[in-house]
């Protein structure tokens, strides 16, 4: 049997049901656990703490599957966890063909992400057809891949599973980056899915992450609500998520910026797929930092600005530099707004918490010499639950502000 025994007093976080065991908390390992093998984690006094997946190459040396001494880790365990996650989403999410079915630690499956895309008109709450896309980001879920794929197809009724484990975080687990078919048919070149009444092309093979930023669904709906008759700037637009939402909401004009020509080409296909008037939209293939300043210098002004940049802080060491980058775009974002204008601003850097993000945005408002008022604090949708024991799960945070 594989047993990991912790150093004295290192059991505290596990007793609070935080699922990670750091290498420096471990006193000794008995047995020869291979990557992903199940280990029993014990406190220094021998008390049972949990069953976990062992990861010999990572500083996060083990991730707890279960705190229940009577719960074995077997095929039935994965079937139960996956079924529960799918049932929760079906009960909680509707009106969309793109949903996060499994969100790692919050669903008791550390290191696993699964998104589900359903063809146009389909709804996650009812339909079983579509495409499952997975990311396996830890040794434990990697070792149980087959069981997880079987559980996913059975819980959803969807036979098609594609893997997008092309994420650098796998290197910390000693795993190579990998993509490919796991079950069913090869995914089509694009899936057209619909969210909040807007159709989007999703390329699960080559798109970012699993193809689409599912986490911004509620925020796109909010932009749709407030876009009527407004001139909108959407910075870091990717395939036009917020831009299309603004057009659907009746925006007068939408200017969008992204440095990926491919993403912009898809965004334009999305305009067509929705039958919107292409003349209402302008797409700028350019660097956002420079373009924001240029637009300001040219006297362009907007009623609604969205800033949804990529992760500027990959880890704690990058926080200072990232903070300057967030401040830079938010400062120009504020300056580009007309009086009464709205700013939707986001950070998806886990290393920057919501308090720090708000401080950065406040600094930007001060430097822009505007009175900015927070109307709403924003985050990911209900399909990205945040485990109370695991605050690290909160990566996406945002603010809706209005300037006086
Ligand atoms: N809001 C989008 C997701 C944004 S992802 C949605 O709802 O779908 C971040 C985007 O920023 C990516 O598309 C990436 O191509 C783009 N990007 C990264 N660095 C950039 C830069 N310096 N200038 C412009 N775009 C950039």
Please answer whether residues 160 and 185 qualify as being in contact, where contact means their C-beta atoms are separated by less than 8 angstroms.
yes
**What is the predicted pLDDT for the residue at 128?**
55
pLDDT tens for each residue of 157-185: 999 999 999 999 999 999 999 999 999 99
Ordered domains of the chain (ranges, CATH)? 3-66 (2.30.130.10), 75-191 (3.30.750.80), 213-403 (3.40.50.150)
pLDDT of residue 125: 63
Q: Which residues contact 359 (CB under 8 A, 6 or more apart)?
A: none
Residue whose C-alpha is closest to residue 239's, from 251, 219, 256, 222: 256
Which residue has the CA at smallest separation from atom 18 of ligand 1? Answer: 310
pTM above 0.75, yes or no: yes
Residues with CB under 6 Å of ligand 1 are 213, 216, 236-239, 241-242, 257-260, 263, 287-289, 308-310
Question: Could you tell me the distance, in angstroms and rounded to a whole number, from the CA of residue 310 to the centre of ligand 1?
Answer: 6
Nearest CA to ligand 1 atom 10: 236
What stretch of H or E contains 355?
helix 354-368
Instruction: Please tell me the distance between residue 348's alpha carbon and the centre of ligand 1 in angstroms.
Output: 12
Q: Which atom of ligand 1 is nearest to the CA of 309?
A: 9
Structure confidence at residue 120 (pLDDT): 75
Q: Is 348 a catalytic residue?
A: yes
Supply the residue whose CA is at minimum distance from atom 16 of ligand 1: 236
Where does 223-273 show beta strands of DSSP type E? 231-235, 253-258
Residues 6+ apart with CB under 8 A from 381: 93, 100, 214, 215, 217, 218
Best mutation site among 193, 214, 259 for ligand 1, i.e. most ligand atoms within 8 A of its Cβ? Answer: 259
Those residues of the chain that have pLDDT short of 70 are 124-128
Which ligand 1 atom sits nearest the alpha carbon of residue 213?
8
* Centroid of ligand 1 to alpha carbon of 349 (angstroms): 14
Residue with token string 């039958």? 275
pLDDT of residue 103: 98
Distance from residue 129's CA to the centre of ligand 1 (Å) = 29
* DSSP three-state, residue 44: coil
């Amino acid at each position: 049997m594989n047993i990991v025994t912790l150093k004295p007093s290192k059991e505290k976080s596990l007793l609070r049901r935080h699922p990670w065991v750091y290498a420096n908390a471990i006193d000794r390992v008995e047995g020869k656990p291979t990557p992903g093998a199940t280990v029993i984690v014990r406190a220094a006094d021998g008390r049972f703490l949990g069953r976990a997946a062992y990861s010999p190459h990572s500083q996060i040396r083990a991730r707890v599957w279960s705190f229940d001494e009577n719960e074995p880790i077997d095929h039935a365990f994965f079937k139960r966890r996956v079924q529960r996650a799918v049932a929760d989403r079906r009960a909680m999410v509707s009106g969309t063909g793109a949903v996060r079915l499994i969100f790692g630690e919050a669903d008791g499956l550390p290191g696993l992400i699964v998104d589900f895309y359903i063809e146009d008109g389909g709804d996650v709450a009812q339909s079983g057809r579509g495409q499952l896309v997975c990311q396996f980001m830890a040794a434990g879920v990697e070792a149980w891949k087959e069981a997880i794929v079987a559980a996913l197809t059975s819980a959803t009724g969807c036979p098609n599973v594609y893997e997008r484990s092309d994420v650098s975080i796998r290197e910390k687990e000693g795993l190579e980056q990998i993509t490919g078919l796991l079950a069913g048919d090869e995914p089509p070149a694009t899936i057209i899915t619909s969210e909040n009444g807007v159709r989007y092309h999703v390329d699960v093979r080559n798109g970012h992450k699993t193809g689409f930023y599912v986490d911004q669904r509620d925020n796109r709906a909010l932009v749709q609500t407030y876009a009527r008759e407004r001139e909108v700037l959407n910075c870091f637009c990717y395939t036009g998520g917020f831009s299309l939402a603004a057009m659907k909401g009746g925006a007068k004009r939408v200017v969008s910026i992204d440095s990926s020509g491919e993403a912009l080409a898809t965004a334009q296909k999305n305009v067509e797929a929705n039958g919107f008037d292409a003349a209402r939209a302008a797409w700028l293939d350019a660097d956002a930092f420079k373009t924001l300043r240029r637009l300001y210098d040219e006297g362009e002004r907007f009623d609604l600005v969205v800033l949804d940049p990529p992760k500027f802080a990959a880890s704690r060491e990058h926080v200072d530099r990232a903070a300057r980058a967030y401040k830079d775009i938010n400062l120009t974002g504020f300056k580009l707004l007309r009086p009464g204008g709205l700013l939707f601003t986001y950070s998806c850097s886990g290393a920057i918490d919501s308090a720090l993000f708000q401080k950065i945005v406040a600094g930007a408002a001060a430097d822009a010499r505007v009175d900015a008022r927070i109307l709403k604090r924003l985050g990911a949708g209900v399909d990205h639950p945040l485990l109370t024991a695991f605050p690290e799960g909160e990566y996406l945070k945002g603010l809706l502000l209005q300037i006086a």
